[in-house]
Amino acid sequence: MEEAGAKPRKGVSCLCCICDNRKAALKRPKTLQQICRECFYEVFEEEIHQVIVKNHLFRPGERIAVGASGGKDSTVLAYVLSELNRRHNYGLDLFLLSVDEGITGYRDDSLETVKRNEIQYGLPLQIVSYKDLYGWTMDEIVKMIGLKNNCTFCGVFRRQALDRGAALLKVDKLATGHNADDMAETVLLNILRGDIARLSRCTAIITGEDGPIPRCKPFKYTYEKEIVMYAYFKKLDYFSTECIYSPNAYRGFAREFIKDLERIRPRAILDIIKSGEDFRISTSTKMPEQGTCERCGYISSQKWCKACVLLEGLNRGLPKLGIGRSRGLDNETEKREMKGRSSDGQTRSIESKQCGTLDF
Amino acid sequence: MQLTLEFGGGLELLCDSVKIHNVSINPENGVGKLVMKDLLSWVRSNLIKERPEMFMKGDTVRPGVLVLVNDCDWELSGQLDTTLEEKDVVVFISTLHGG
Amino acid sequence: MACNSSACQSNCYRNQDDEATVEQDSLRTNKTDRLAATYGDSGDTHLCFKCKAKERMSSSEEGDDGRFCSDCFRSNLFAKFRQAVNSNAMISPSDKVLVAFSGGPCSRVALQFVHEMQVKAHKNFEASRDRSLHVFGVGVAYIDETSACPIPLHEIDRTIQTIQSVVSSLSPPIKDLHIVQIESVYSSNLSDGREKLKKLLDTVSDVTGKEDLISHLRMLSLQKIAAENGYNRLVLGTCTSRIACHVISSTVKGQGYSLPADIQYVDARWEVPVALPLRDCLAQELNMLCCADGLKTVELTKTSFSGINDLVSSFVALLQEENPSRESTIVRTAGKLTPFNFSRIPDLNESNGVPLATKRRQKRNNFKHVNSLSSETFCAVCNGPLNMSDVQTLRSFEAGQVSSILAGTCCSSCQFQILPKDSISQELLLSLLPPSMVARAMHGSPSNSNSLREKIQEFLLSDDEVES
């Protein structure tokens, strides 16, 4: 019985179903095929190439920045894009763009990874730091405001920092490492939050075409499992530690649900993205008029952009300024958040990944 | 039985930030056979120092943790029923950290 | 994007353009909370929040049952039901309504409320001198699914007994009870149908696919009972919680396009339009009402399918526990998806005496294309509207090869979880589908050509039940 139950391994392992020659090394979640390493590299890269071509993500001669956090997704993205650029003559000038939030013991370490990547892949690296742009590091901000709302600052500042870095590099587009699991999670979260406006555009593969720097997601259909497998087999150098200011942030219900789903039906991840693309949402909902911030010139629908409002608060010693919704956050809401704490004292929420990663 | 266990993708944080562990495990149930299921419970009680729920859920690894036995996806070798042999290398990688 | 962290509390950065939606959401909950809190401050936390005279039903802080006394709770729930019925013209005096009753608490409340409405209409009828006010008719249907999933005989007997006693103990007007076996979707010969049904389910290997197919068949049975007995409305007890689960599971199955078809108050794509008057009530509230009012319910031990649907249910339950307004938020989000033309009772025009107020409300619910005809094509198996771009990709993909009729007339979700992969098994499945599904496949097939017609002729002739 044991013999029948356990599948053969080692010498008698099953063969790759593509080349029918080498030993299979993994099971693809997308197709359930058993394939060997070499064939995996090939199909993995080819699929991303097809996504790039079909969606016209890049045009010959463009300057493209890869948002590089040093984590698995952006590391693999930088590696694969430089490979494909060479192989298929995209004619792109590729750059690495990193944001230094100024978090000791976290970002300084991950930036070391990015600096190694700069050399390994031969891609010029631009680092923009919160300190330079805003005069504050996250360490200093946290010292002032504590561990509440710090992710709000970080998120707002990062978004703008990336745009500013991209402007410095004079790139035409920013490519980010969002993978299929991230996309599926975002679709679910927008349903759970009742955010129909975002639901309608969260599955777009290119966003911000009306903004200063369009962003694109070449990994939109790429499974997280395959990205990690690829990085592991290729021995790519990536950094994986949680942000010290939002530890355990990835313990989200939605992420866990997606991983549970993947276990019983791997295809579900792509199906969620498909649903997100197919939702019938009338586009009549007005987008707010985009102007520019009077202070810094960044796009903004208000007089001042969000970053400037937050910054003003920090500089005036009123860090609550610009936090939360304009009509103020009720105690009740906070109480409710508190109720979400599980027995082991750690906050559980529907959301998951570390702040920075999804925002990239 | 001598095994090499490797933790990556952030899982090393759960075991004193040590990535590679060379361990010796004696199969308990007499048969001299060790399957992944036994290894997981051994790892949980001997190597994981904090937040075991990051590593396991029920009697298997938490969804989102990849397992490779001798660089081969354990989904191909029978997952929990995979039989381990002397000098095998087992790798656990979390996909849940960072991006 | 907002920062996706639990550690950052609720204050994630949001783009300004999205803020309005979220704000509304939080304002609403905050308002209720604040009211409750204000009231709580005065020290009378045990008194009903509405009438301020009687004791609250439960000590739970969340949900309507925690704030109201049992009378106010009940009338509040009934008001939600009545509002749904009236603003969507679900029931008019000349209608004959079939209530689907599974024995569970949701459909039990649906039956109770429809019954109360009928009793009231009947009283008005008796009171009116010229007896001009019609009273709508009510019937009850129970679908026996023993042939689809094994249920112990004593359990099914107990269920049917309870159903019979519930229906017969309702005060007049008398309601017909239709207890029908699910294999009746085939023909009048039940044992033959039972065999076919078993074989049909055997061809489906995916557990979730099987479970979903059974629910599609259940709907067909209900439609059949309704059509054969002259009913023109089918009322289901589907509540907010159920719809929330459906929203998530449809999303997970890739049915984002057809989702809005299933979650509106009215679904008129069927021969007999379907109404969901409990769409705004939570399962928890309906359970509570059954307990409080002593409404008898019975539920079969659920055969666990351990598939997608179960995983979704436990996920939604977890979310609801974390935030008691989560189910409503999910349904509200999905409600904002553009509805299809058939999401309202058809023939809604001046001539048939629909009150002006109803029409106004319908307008507000953004049914813009009231007069345009539905141009949708429907999936042969699940009857979900097909996304034409999908169908075209599929057809062009399979143009070169001889494919079964089904492949071109099913949504991608049914293709994956219900249709077998090879064309021989697909033909087998086609031969085992109930006639109404075959008819839908034929209707939806690309050319409607003679060759296709011939191909399925035998299946059509083998039954006398072909839908016109």
Query: With an 8 Å Cβ cutoff, are A195 and C6 in contact?
Result: no
Interval A301-305 mean pLDDT: 84
A293 in contact with C at a CB cutoff of 8 Å? no
Q: What pLDDT was estimated at residue B98?
A: 53
pLDDT, tens only, A201-221: 899 999 988 778 999 999 999
Q: What pLDDT is attached to residue C64?
A: 59
Residue A304 contacts C where some CB pair is shorter than 8 Å: no
Is B26 contained in some domain?
yes
- Averaged pLDDT score across all residues of chain C: 78
Ligand-binding site membership of A182 (annotated): yes
Clarify whether residues A106 and A127 are in a common domain.
Answer: yes
Distance from CA of A27 to the nearest CA of B (A): 7
Percent of residues, chain C, with pLDDT higher than 70: 73
The domain of A317 spans 288-323
ipTM score assigned to the predicted complex: 0.85
Of B10-24, C84-98, C390-404, which range is least confident?
C390-404
**Which residues partner with A206 through β-bridges?**
A216
CB A165 within 8 A of CB A99: yes
- A270 and A318 both lie in a single domain: no
**What is the pLDDT of chain A when averaged over all its residues?**
82
Nearest CA-CA distance, residue B36 and chain A, Å? 11
pLDDT band at C426 (very low <50, low <70, confident <90, very high): confident
Please indicate, yes or no, if residue B99 is contained in any of the structural domains. Answer: no
pLDDT at A107: 84
Q: Does chain C reach chain B with at least 3 CB pairs under 8 Å?
A: no
Number of domains in chain B: 1
Residue of chain A with shortest Cα separation from C318: A253
Percent of chain C with pLDDT over 90: 40
User: Which pLDDT value is given to residue C403?
Assistant: 57
Identify the residue among A336, A343, A346, A354 best suited for mutation to test binding to C, counting C beta carbons within 10 A and taking the highest: A336
* Helix, coil or strand: residue B2: strand
Q: Is A20 annotated as a binding residue?
A: no
Per-residue confidence (pLDDT) for residue C22, from 0 to 100: 40
Q: Report the pLDDT value the prediction gives residue B13, as an integer from 0 to 100.
A: 85
| Inside any domain, residue A347 | no
| Residue A73 marked in a binding site | yes
Does A191 sit within 8 Å of C333, measured CB to CB? yes
Asked if A188 and A215 sit in the same domain, the reply is: yes
Answer yes or no: do B95 and A72 touch at CB < 8 A. Answer: yes
Interface touch A197/C10, C-beta < 8 Å: no
Same domain? For A135 and A176 the reply is: yes
Q: A63-67, A131-135, C164-168, C456-460 — which is least confidently predicted? A: C456-460
In this prediction, residue C445 has a pLDDT band, given cuts at 50, 70 and 90, of: low
Q: φ, ψ for residue A244 (rounded to 5)? A: -70, -20
Average pLDDT score over residue span A144-156? 81
Q: Return the pLDDT at A340.
A: 39
**Cα–Cα dist A11/A7, whole Å:** 12
- pLDDT for the residue numbered C394: 63
**Interface residue A17 vs chain B (CB under 8 A):** no
- Which residue in C5, C310, C319 has the most chain A C-beta atoms within 10 A of its own C-beta, making it the best mutation to test that interface? C5
Question: Same domain for A272 and A292?
Answer: no
Residue pLDDT, tens place only, C148-168: 888 888 888 899 999 999 999
What domains can you pick out in chain C, each with its CATH number?
Answer: 70-364 (3.40.50.620), 388-459 (no CATH)
C166-180 residue pLDDT tens = 999 988 888 999 999
**pLDDT for B99 beyond 50:** no
Residue C436: what pLDDT?
86
Interface of A with C in 305-344 (CB under 8 A): 306, 323-327, 329-330, 332-334, 336-337, 339-340
pLDDT on residue C38: 44
A41 inside domain:
no
Asked if A337 and C9 come within 8 Å (Cβ–Cβ), the reply is yes
* C54, C48 Cβ separation under 8 angstroms: yes
CA distance B34 to A152: 48
- Are both A200 and A105 inside the same structural domain? yes
C65-83 mean pLDDT: 85
Whether A118 and A225 share a structural domain: yes
Q: Which residue has the higher pLDDT, C291 or C467?
A: C291
- Nearest CA of chain A to the CA of B96: how many Å? 7
pLDDT at A310: 87
Q: Which residues contact A256 (CB under 8 A, 6 or more apart)?
A: A352, B63, B64
Is the pLDDT confidence value at B6 over 70? yes
In sequence order, what E strands does C269-405 have? 274-275
Is residue A168 situated within a structural domain? Answer: yes
Q: Which residues contact C333 (CB under 8 A, 6 or more apart)?
A: A190, A191, A192, A193, A194, A195, A196, A199, C247
What is the residue-wise DSSP string for A180-235? HHHHHHHHHHHHHHT-HHHHHHTT-SEE-TTSSS-EE-TTTT--HHHHHHHHHHTT
A244 and C CB contact within 8 Å: no
Question: Is the pLDDT at C28 greater than 90, yes or no?
Answer: no
> How do residues B43-85 score in pLDDT, each as one tens digit?
998 999 888 888 998 889 999 899 999 999 999 998 899 999 9
d(CA C187, CA A152): 62
Write down the pLDDT at residue C4: 42
Q: What pLDDT is recorded for position C390? A: 75
Is residue C362 within 8 A of residue C87, CB to CB? The reply is: yes
pLDDT over 60 at C25, yes or no: no
CB-based contact, A255 to chain B, within 8 Å: yes
Cis bond upstream, residue C173 (ω within 30): yes
Q: Which has more pLDDT, C300 or C268?
A: C268
Task: Give pLDDT tens digits for A3-21.
Answer: 343 444 444 468 999 999 9
Residue A309: inside a domain? yes
> How many domains does the structure of chain A reveal?
2
pLDDT of residue B1: 86
DSSP bridge pairs for C322: none
Mean pLDDT is lowest, of A94-103, A215-224, B27-36, for B27-36
Give a yes or no: residue B81 inside a domain. Answer: yes
The stretches of chain A forming alpha helices (DSSP H) are: 2-5, 37-54, 72-87, 107-121, 130-134, 138-145, 150-168, 180-193, 196-201, 224-233, 253-264, 268-278, 306-315, 331-339, 355-359
Q: Is the pLDDT reported for residue C193 higher than 90? A: no
Same domain, A226 and A293: no
CA distance C179 to C160: 8
Res C130: pLDDT: 74
Q: What is the mean pLDDT of residues A260-277?
A: 95
pLDDT recorded at residue A342? 38
A177 is in an annotated binding site: yes
For B35-53, the pLDDT digits (tens) are 999 999 999 989 998 888 8
Cα distances from A99 to residues A96, A158, A206, in angstroms, run 10, 7, 21
CA–CA separation, C436 and C412 (whole Å): 20
Of the pLDDT bands very low, low, confident and very high (cuts 50, 70, 90), residue A346 is: very low
Do A95 and A227 lie in one domain? The reply is yes
Long-range CB contacts for residues A204-207, cutoff 8 Å, separation at least 24:
A205/A51, A205/A55, A205/A57, A206/A55, A206/A57
Does pLDDT of C364 surpass 90? no
* Buried b or exposed e, range C412-451, using 16+ CB within 10 angstroms: bbbbbbbbbeebeebbbbbbbbbbbbbbbbbebbeeeeee
Residue B71 in domain: yes
Chain C residues closer than 8 Å to A268 by CB: 252-253, 308
**Residue A48 belongs to a domain:** no
Task: State yes or no: pLDDT of C407 exceeds 90.
Answer: no
Q: Is residue B58 part of a domain?
A: yes
Q: What is the CATH number of the domain that holds B21?
A: 3.10.20.30
Identify the pLDDT of residue A100: 92
Which residues from B are below 8 Å from A when comparing CB atoms?
Answer: 8-10, 13, 35, 51, 62-64, 66, 68-73, 75-78, 81-83, 85, 91, 93-99
Comparison of pLDDT for A2 and C288, the residue scoring more: C288
| Residue B19 lies in domain | 2-94
| Residue among C23, C247, C251 whose CB faces A272 most closely | C251
Predicted local distance difference test score (pLDDT) of residue A185 = 93
Higher pLDDT, C460 or A55: A55
**Is there a domain that residue B14 lies in?**
yes
Tell me, what's the pLDDT at C204? 92
To probe the interface with A, which of B14, B69, B89, B97 has the most A CB atoms within 10 Å? B97
* CATH number for position A84: 3.40.50.620
